Structure 1
Amino acid sequence: MTSTETLVASTAIRDAQPLAGEALRAAKKRFPPRPYEDDWTATSHSYDEVVARLNRPPLRAASESTHFYRRRGATLILHWLLKQPGDTWQQRWNASPAASGTGAQWNELNATWVGYNAANANGILNTGLFALVCADVLRPSLRWQLTRTSTNLRAIITRHRDPDGFARLQELVGPEAWSSHLGILAKNVLVKLVIAKGGGLADINVGDAIEYMEEHRAQRATSGGQSLFYSWVKSLGHLPPDAPVSLRLLHRTSGQVSVEQLVDRYQPQSKPIRDLLVEYLKERQPTMDYTSLEDASRTLVRNFWLQIERIQPGIDTLRLPSEVVSAWKQASRTKVTRRRLPDGTVHEAISERANYGSLMLGVRALYLDLAHWAVEEPERWGPWVAPCPVSAADASTSKHEKRRKAKMDQRTRERLPALSTVVRAARANWTEAQEGMDALRVAPLGGQFMFRGRTYTRQKKDSSTPFRAYDESGRRIHLGLLEERAFWAWATIELLQHTGVRIEEMLEASHHALIQYKLPTSGDIVPLLQVAPSKTDEERLLLVSPELADVLSTVIARVRDPRTGAIPMLPIYDVAEKIWNPPMPLLFQWTYGGQRTPVSRQMIRDGLNEVLKRTGLTDSAGEPLDFAPHDFRRIFITDAIRSGLPPHIAQVLAGHSDINTTMGYNAIYPADAIEAHRAFIARRRSLRPSEEYRTPTNEEWDAFLAHFEKRKLSLGTCARAFGTSCIHEHACVRCSLLRPDPAQRARLAEIRDNLIARITEAEQEGWLGEIEGLQVSLASAEEKLAQLDAEQVRQRQVVDLGMPRFSQIATRISTARGPSS
C-alpha cells in the first residue's frame, strides 16, 4: 500500500462522533422526568393506618380468602420493613435489598428477605406487595417493574387510580385500539408510570416517558410497540406544544444541532482553526438550508482540515505549504468504502472520489470568502487571509458532470424498456399478497393454508401481530407486513411513473394536495395534484390522469379512518432538514405498532426490491437490475420529451429552476440522434431546389464516375471536386490539390532536379522572367517531396493490426467510356 493509500485508510479509521440520538439528549435536557419521591401521604401512614386502609373498599378484595392473603402478605412485608432504616415505608423499601435488586429477584428471594418460610410463602408475599402498591404505600421503580409482571395490577390501577383519566383516554383511542394487544401493552406502561411516580395520567410528562423508554431499551433489545403509550398521552392534551412528536425514533435522530456541534463531532486539534470554521459557518448559515450547512461542515472539517492535521500535525494556520497541499489533494482523490462480508469481517476498498470537484470548490470558497470579508471586517477576518491552495481548474466539476450524465443516461436506457415489466410485477405482487392475507383470515387458529405455492400454518392464538404464520421450515412470516410492502411498492411505482416527483415529495403528499380547477372556456372540472416544494421553494401543479386518479383513490380508500372517514393528520420527519413538519393528512401512511405513522423510505426500498426480485431482470453486466425511486423521475422526463413534450414544459412539470437540469435528466438514445439528423437533412432539402434531388440520368452518372477515373495523374491523384475545373491549368506540381503517390517519388525528384537545372540556365542566360515561375514550381515540388517523406516516417511508426485494407476487400466497376480516339 502506498503512502497515499495509507493516509486514506487511516482517515477512515477515526470516525466522527455520531449525531444520532442528539434529539433524545436535547429532549432529556429540556424535559426532565419527575424525581422518585420517598415521602407522601400514603407512605407516611402508620402501620395501623395502612392495615385499616387495606380493610376498606376499594382496596378490600370482594373474596374473603383473597382479602385474607393480601392482608397477611402486606402485614408480613410491613413488619419486615419496620426493621429497615427510614421514616416512611418508601424510605424503608429503598433501604431494603428488595429495592436494589430486580422484580425477578423479588419473586425468587422474597421469602428469604422477609424471613417467612411457610407454605406458599412467595405467593402470599407477592399478593401482599400487590396490595401495598395498589394502596400507593410503596412505589417500585420503573427498572424494578420492568423485570416483573402482574396480570391483575393493570385492572386494579385503572379502576381505582385516576379512573376518570383512563375513561377519557379509552374514549379518545376507541374500543378496538383499547382492547388490542398493543393497547394492553400501552396500558401496562401507563400503569407502571402511575405506580412509580404517583399521580394520574395528567401528571405524566415527557421526561417520564423518555425515562421509561430508556429503561425498557436497557432491559430489552427491541422496543416494538412500546411507544404507543406516548401518543395516547399526547392525545390527552396535557403535554406542552414543543413536546417531541414521537419517541419511537427519537434515539436515532439528531434534529437540527448547533454549528459548534457540527464542527466538534470531528474533534479538530487546532482550537484557532476550530473557532474560525465555527465563525465562518455561522456567517454563512442565514443563506443556507440545514442540509447544505451540514454538508459544508463535513467538507471543511472532515475532508479538509482533519486531513491537513494528519499530514502535518500541530498546524494552526491556513497558509499551507505546497507539499502539504499536494499530499492533501492526492489523498482527496480517493476514498475508502467499507463493506461487511458474510463472515462478519469488514472489507475496505479504495476507490476514486466522485465529488472531488465539489470538495475543492468548498475549500476554495472558504479562502475566497475570507479574503472578501476581510475588506469589510479586517480585524475579524484579516488575520486568516492566505493564498488559496485550490485553483479554478481544481474546482472544476465539468468532468464529473459528464461522467455522471453518461452514467445516469445508461441507467435510464436500461430501465425504461423494463418499466412495463416492473409495473406488471408490482400489481401481481400486491394481488398475490392480498390472496395470502385472505387465505390466512379464513384459516382457523393453528390451521394450514396455501400461499405462493407453499403451505403455511396460522398462529395458534392471536397476538399483537395477528397476521403472522409459519412456513414449512417453522420460520415465522409476517404476511400483514408483506401485504403492506407490496401495496406501497405498487402505489410508489404507479405514482412515480405518472408524475415524476421526487420521493420526498411523494411521501409528503397530502389529501389537501388534490385540488380542482375549472376551465374558463368549457367549464369542465380538471383534477390537479399540488406538489409541495422539496429542493426548490416553488410549488407546482400536475394534471391528474385517469390512471393516476385510480391510484390516488385506492390509496385514499386504504388510509381513511374507519371511524370518522377522514384521513388522520400526521407529522412527518424531514430527513434532510432534520425537523418535524406540521401534521398533515398524508397519503402515504400506515399503522405500525398500534399507531399511525408515515411510510418510511426504507419500507419503499424493501418493497421495490421484492418487486424487482420477482421480475428477474438483469442489467448489461448480468447483475440483478435495481430501481431507485429517482430512476422513475429520469424515466418520466426522458419519456415525456421523447413523446414530443417541449423541454420547457417538462421543466415546469419536473420543478427544475434551470432547463439545463431538465435536459440533464433526458437520456439521449442513438436512435434519437439518427432521427434528429434525418430530420435536419429533410429540413435542409426543403430549403434547396428540388431539381437537385431528382434521380440522375445514365449520362450524368457516367460523367460522375468518369470524373474519378480522370483524377489519376502521373504524379498521384487530383483531389478537385466533381464539376470543378483545374485552377492551375494542369500545372499539377504547383497545385495544392495534388496528392502525390509515394511510388512516383523518383519522378518527382527528377522534376525537381530538372527545375534546378533550368533555373541555373536561366540565370546564366539572363532570362529573369523565366526564373520567377521556375522558382514557384521548384518550391511546390520540394513541398510535395517533404510530404512524401513525412508520410513514410508516419507509416514506419504505424503498428499493423492485420486488418485488410479497403482496396483488398472492395472493387469498382465503371461503365464510363474514355475519350474516343
Structure 2
Amino acid sequence: MSAEEVLALLDRPPLRADKAHTRWQRRSGAHALLTWLAGFPGESWQERWEASPAALGPEGWAREGHAWLGAVANVRWNSAQSGLLCLAVADVLRLPLAWQFRYRTSNLRPLVERTRDPEGFARLEAAVDPKRWASTGGGRSRLALVRIMLTKGGKLGDITAGDAFEYATELRKSGIDRAGSTLFYSWLRDLGNLPPDAPVTLRFLDRVTGQLTCEQLVDRHGVTCEPIRALLIDYLEERRPRLDYSTLDNLARALTRNFWSDLERHHPGINSLALAPEVATAWKERLRTRVQRRKRPDGTVEETVVERADRAMLFIAVRAFYLDIARWAVEEPGRWGPWAAPCPIKEAETTDRKRAKRVKAQMDQRTRERLPALEPFAQAAADHHRYRRACLDSLLSVQPGGTFHIGDAVFVRTTNGDSAAARDADGNLLHFDLAEQRAFWAWASVEFLRHTGARIEEMLEVSHHAMIQYRLPTTGEIVPLLQIAPSKTDQERVLLVSPELADVLSAIIRRVRDPHNGTIPLLAAYDYAERTWNPPAPLLFQCDRGGENSRMSGELIRRTLGEVLAFIGLTDSVGQPLAFTPHDFRRMFITDAIRSGLPPHIAQAIAGHANINTTMGYHAIYPAETIEAHRAFISRRRALRPAEEYRTPTDAEWEDFLGHFERRKLSVGTCARAYGTACIHEHACVRCSLLRPDPAQRARLAEIRDNLIARIAEAEMEGWLGEVEGLQVSLAGAEEKLRQLDRSHGQHTAVDLGIPTTRGER
C-alpha cells in the first residue's frame, strides 16, 4: 500500500476511533512515521522498518525516535507512539517478540482486542473463568496472545503450537519469565484452536527431551570405533523390548561413557572387546573414583575427587554385556560370534558388600533417629497448615489496601484485588495464598506417605480413579481400597484405606475439585522415567500455577517438607536440623509395620518390592529387638513342636544315649558323629572327616600309612588297578590325619587351667 492507502485504512472500522482528537493523533503520528520510513530501502513498509535504526530495539526508538520523525514532520511524541501502535495493529508493521518484550505500553492489549479479532477474544472470554480473566495472570496471557498476533499476523484462530512455543522460548531468553506466562496456551487448547497431537503444555516443553533412539543414545558420548559403535547399538536394540526407557538410558550411559569411551580416551585405536589384563585393571581403577564439581558463591567451580557410589552397578552392566554376547553367540554365531570375548569382570567384583553394609547401617541410624520424631513432625505439618490458613483468612478479611495484624506483626494488603498478597513493615511482598497452598500440600504429603509407605513418584501419580471399593463376600462389608499405579517394579498393588488416610484423601479431593462443575481437572503429566506424556487423568496432587493446573513435582514436595522443619525446629543428637525426605517415610512405614508384628512377606507385598531382601533392607534393626525376636522364636518353636518331645526320657532311651558316647572310641581316635545319625562312610574311619585321631596312636596311624603304601605297590605290580584307586583314597586320609596331629602338636601346648581340687586330693 501507499502511504495514502494506509492512512485511509486507519480511518475505517474497526481501526477508526470514536473521538476526533484520537483520530487526528493516530493519523498524524502514522503519517510522520511512514514519511520517515519512506527514506529507507525496501519493497514494503516492513522491509523499510527493518532497514531503519528503530528496528534495532525500542530503546533507540524511545531515545531518538522524536528526533528521527522531527526531521520529516512536526509531530508530538505521543502522536508518534499512537501512530506506531496503529500501524502494528493494522498489520502494516510486524514487531518482533524481543522488540515487544522491551517496549512498555498499557494501550497495546486493549487496542488489539477491540480491533484485530474482537469476535475471537469475546469467544475466549466466555470460555474462561471471569476471575481468572481479570487476574494478573490472565492479563499476561491476553498480552501474550496480542504479541503473537502482532508478530505473526492473523487472528486468534491462526496461532499455531509453534508460535506459542516460540513465544515461550523468547520470553525465557528475555529473562522476564513469570507465573502465568504459559496460561494462554491452555486457553488455546480449550478453544480447540490447536491440533490433537499438539504438546499438552508449554511449562516443561523446553526442559524435556523425549525418548532417544539407540543410535542417539550411543552417539551422544562419542564412540570412535565404528564396529564397536554398531555393536553397542545392536546390543541396545536387542535389550530394548525388555527394558523401560530409564533403564535403557542408564545402560547406554554405562556401556558408552563409563566403559568404551573411557577406554578410547586412554587407549586410542582400541577396537576389540578382548581387553588385556593391564588395560582392564587400569579401567577398573579409574572407575573407582569420579570428579564432583560444585559451584562456589563467587562463580568458580570447585572439583573434588570422591568415591564412586555406583561402581558395582557399572560393573554389573559391563559384565552382563559380555555374558549376553557370549550366550547369544551360541544361538546366532554369525551375528554375535565374532564379538565373544572373555569377560574382564569377575562375579565377586559386582558386589561391594562392605559399602552395602555401611549404607545399610547409615540408613538404619537415619530411620532410628526419625521414627520417634514422626508423630511430632506430622503434628507440626498440621499446625503449620492451620497457621497459614489463619494468616490467609486475616488477609481476606480486609479490603485491598487495608491493614491487618498477625501477632505483633503488621501487614498491608496490596491494592490488587485478585492477589492474596501483603507487605510487611519492611516493604517485603508476601504471598499468603501461595504459603497456605504449600503448607496444605506439605501436610497432605506427610499424611499420605506415612500411612501408605508409597514412593513419591507413586504418590504424585495417584488419581481419583485409584480409589475403589471391595465388598467382602462373607459379611457384605464395603472396604475402601487404594490402587497404587506401577512405578519402579511395574507391579500394581492395592492398599487398604485407613480412616486417617480417608480423611487426607477427602481433604485433597475437596481442594482440587472444580467449583463450577464438581469434577477433578484432567492433567497429562510428563513421565520423566519413560520420557513420555501420560494420558490425561484426574490426578489428586495438582495445584494452580498462574491459573494453569499442573501436577506437583517431587522438588516442590521436598521444599514444603523443609518449610515444616523450619516451622517446628526439630534437631538431631548433634544439634543439626532433623530433615525429612519423602523416602524416609517409606523406611519408617516398613520398619514400624514389621516391628508391630506384620509378617515380612506381607510388608513386601504392601511396599511393592520384588525381593523380600529389599524389604528387610528397609527395616531398621534395634539391638533389643534382636534379643526379643530370638526369644519369641524359641517360644513359638516350643509351642509348635510335639509335646512328647519335651517329656522325660525312659531308662532305655537314656542308656542308648550314653551308649552312643561309649561306642565313639576307635582304635586310632574318637568318632565325632552326632547322636542318632548313621555312619555315612561305612566305617572306613581313616577316610572320614569326623575321625578325631588320638596323639597317642600316631605310631599306629604311621603303620597303617606304610601298610597302605605297600599294598598300593603290590596292586600296581599285579595290575589290580581297580583296587589302587580305593587304596589311594585311604592313603590320602591317613596322611591327612597325620598332618592334623603334627599341626596340633606344633601349634598348641598344654595349659594349666587351674582347676580347683578338694582338700583330700592336695
Q: TM-score range by the shorter chain?
A: 0.7 to 0.9
The 5 A counterparts of 1:609-620 are 609-619=562-572
The 5 A counterparts of 1:533-544 are 533-544=486-497
Distance between the aligned counterparts of 2:548 and 2:363, measured in 1? 39
> 2:166 maps to what in 1?
211
> 1:514 maps to what in 2?
467
Q: Is the 2:29–2:75 contact (alpha carbons within 8 Å) kept by the matching residues of 1? A: no
> 1:62 maps to what in 2?
18
Deviation at 1:614, TM superposition (A): 3.2
Deviation at 1:638, TM superposition (A): 2.0
Of 84, 88, 92, the match for 1:137:
92
Deviation at 1:345, TM superposition (A): 4.2
Deviation at 1:132, TM superposition (A): 1.9
> 2:2 maps to what in 1?
46
Distance between the aligned counterparts of 1:726 and 1:547, measured in 2? 64
In structure 2, relative to structure 1, the CA distance for the partners of 1:157 and 1:662 (3 Å cut) is same
Deviation at 1:70, TM superposition (A): 0.9
Listed one character per residue, the Cα deviations across residues 383-428 of structure 1 (whole Å, up to 9, x for unaligned) are: 3222211112222355554444333333222222221111111111
> 2:325 maps to what in 1?
370
In structure 2, relative to structure 1, the CA distance for the partners of 1:454 and 1:586 (3 Å cut) is farther
Distance between the aligned counterparts of 2:338 and 2:251, measured in 1? 22
> 2:78 maps to what in 1?
123
In structure 2, relative to structure 1, the CA distance for the partners of 1:152 and 1:472 (3 Å cut) is closer
- With 211-220 and 286-295 compared, the bigger mean Cα shift is at 211-220
Deviation at 1:290, TM superposition (A): 0.3
Distance between the aligned counterparts of 2:11 and 2:54, measured in 1? 25
> 1:86 maps to what in 2?
42
> 1:424 maps to what in 2?
379
Listed one character per residue, the Cα deviations across residues 195-241 of structure 1 (whole Å, up to 9, x for unaligned) are: 22111111100111121122222222534321111111121212122
Q: Is the 2:32–2:75 contact (alpha carbons within 8 Å) kept by the matching residues of 1? A: no
Q: Is the 2:482–2:497 contact (alpha carbons within 8 Å) kept by the matching residues of 1? A: yes
SS at match of 1:570: coil
Distance between the aligned counterparts of 1:595 and 1:310, measured in 2? 48
Distance between the aligned counterparts of 1:688 and 1:210, measured in 2? 77
Q: Is the 1:358–1:397 contact (alpha carbons within 8 Å) kept by the matching residues of 2? A: no
SS at match of 2:534: strand
> 2:447 maps to what in 1?
494
In structure 2, relative to structure 1, the CA distance for the partners of 1:175 and 1:688 (3 Å cut) is closer
1:276 aligned to 2:231? yes
Listed one character per residue, the Cα deviations across residues 428-450 of structure 1 (whole Å, up to 9, x for unaligned) are: 11111112212222345455544
SS at match of 2:304: strand
> 1:468 maps to what in 2?
421
Deviation at 1:458, TM superposition (A): 3.1
The letter of the residue matching 1:285 is R
> 1:110 maps to what in 2?
65
Of 91, 95, 103, the match for 2:51:
95
Q: Is the 1:489–1:608 contact (alpha carbons within 8 Å) kept by the matching residues of 2? A: yes
Of 265, 286, 291, the match for 1:331:
286
The letter of the residue matching 1:354 is A
The letter of the residue matching 2:13 is P
1:75 aligned to 2:26? no
> 2:438 maps to what in 1?
485
> 1:647 maps to what in 2?
600
> 2:313 maps to what in 1?
358
> 2:724 maps to what in 1?
none
- With 608-617 and 544-553 compared, the bigger mean Cα shift is at 608-617
Deviation at 1:568, TM superposition (A): 0.8
Listed one character per residue, the Cα deviations across residues 506-553 of structure 1 (whole Å, up to 9, x for unaligned) are: 101111111222222332222221211112333222221111111111
> 1:455 maps to what in 2?
409
Distance between the aligned counterparts of 1:483 and 1:546, measured in 2? 25
SS at match of 1:553: helix
The letter of the residue matching 1:365 is A
In structure 2, relative to structure 1, the CA distance for the partners of 1:613 and 1:792 (3 Å cut) is farther
- With 185-194 and 478-487 compared, the bigger mean Cα shift is at 478-487
1:167 aligned to 2:122? yes
Q: Is the 1:335–1:352 contact (alpha carbons within 8 Å) kept by the matching residues of 2? A: yes
> 2:242 maps to what in 1?
287
Distance between the aligned counterparts of 2:47 and 2:306, measured in 1? 63
How many residues align? The count is 690
In structure 2, relative to structure 1, the CA distance for the partners of 1:388 and 1:339 (3 Å cut) is same
The 5 A counterparts of 1:625-774 are 625-683=578-636
The letter of the residue matching 2:44 is T
> 1:298 maps to what in 2?
253
The letter of the residue matching 1:628 is T
SS at match of 1:336: strand
Segments of structure 2 that go 5 or more residues without pairing to the other structure are: 649-657, 664-668, 673-694, 700-739
Listed one character per residue, the Cα deviations across residues 678-719 of structure 1 (whole Å, up to 9, x for unaligned) are: 12333465559899999xxxxxxxxxxxxxxxxxxxxxxxxx
The letter of the residue matching 2:320 is A
SS at match of 1:86: coil
Q: Is the 2:36–2:72 contact (alpha carbons within 8 Å) kept by the matching residues of 1? A: no
Distance between the aligned counterparts of 2:374 and 2:259, measured in 1? 42
Of 569, 573, 598, the match for 2:522:
569
Distance between the aligned counterparts of 1:639 and 1:262, measured in 2? 42
Distance between the aligned counterparts of 1:476 and 1:353, measured in 2? 44
Of 139, 155, 167, the match for 1:200:
155
SS at match of 2:525: strand
The letter of the residue matching 1:461 is T
Listed one character per residue, the Cα deviations across residues 39-91 of structure 1 (whole Å, up to 9, x for unaligned) are: xxxxxx33332222222333221111111111111112222233333333223
SS at match of 2:141: helix
SS at match of 2:535: strand
SS at match of 1:429: helix
Listed one character per residue, the Cα deviations across residues 345-404 of structure 1 (whole Å, up to 9, x for unaligned) are: 443333322222211111111112222333344443333222211112222355554444
SS at match of 1:571: coil
Deviation at 1:636, TM superposition (A): 1.4
Per the normalisation by structure 1, the TM-score is 0.77
Deviation at 1:657, TM superposition (A): 3.1
Q: Is the 1:456–1:469 contact (alpha carbons within 8 Å) kept by the matching residues of 2? A: no
> 2:344 maps to what in 1?
389
> 1:414 maps to what in 2?
369
Distance between the aligned counterparts of 2:161 and 2:553, measured in 1? 25
Of 392, 403, 419, the match for 1:437:
392
Distance between the aligned counterparts of 1:300 and 1:622, measured in 2? 44
Deviation at 1:505, TM superposition (A): 1.1
Distance between the aligned counterparts of 2:390 and 2:149, measured in 1? 44
The letter of the residue matching 1:78 is L
Per the normalisation by structure 2, the TM-score is 0.82
SS at match of 1:623: coil
In structure 2, relative to structure 1, the CA distance for the partners of 1:690 and 1:410 (3 Å cut) is farther
Q: Is the 1:471–1:477 contact (alpha carbons within 8 Å) kept by the matching residues of 2? A: yes
CA-based RMSD of the aligned residues comes to: 3.8
In structure 2, relative to structure 1, the CA distance for the partners of 1:474 and 1:621 (3 Å cut) is same
Distance between the aligned counterparts of 2:31 and 2:304, measured in 1? 69
In structure 2, relative to structure 1, the CA distance for the partners of 1:399 and 1:159 (3 Å cut) is same
The letter of the residue matching 1:519 is L
In structure 2, relative to structure 1, the CA distance for the partners of 1:351 and 1:144 (3 Å cut) is closer
Segments of structure 1 that go 5 or more residues without pairing to the other structure are: 1-44, 695-722, 729-733, 738-751, 757-782, 796-805
- With 286-295 and 140-149 compared, the bigger mean Cα shift is at 140-149
Q: Is the 1:103–1:146 contact (alpha carbons within 8 Å) kept by the matching residues of 2? A: no
> 1:799 maps to what in 2?
none
The letter of the residue matching 2:531 is K
In structure 2, relative to structure 1, the CA distance for the partners of 1:683 and 1:91 (3 Å cut) is closer
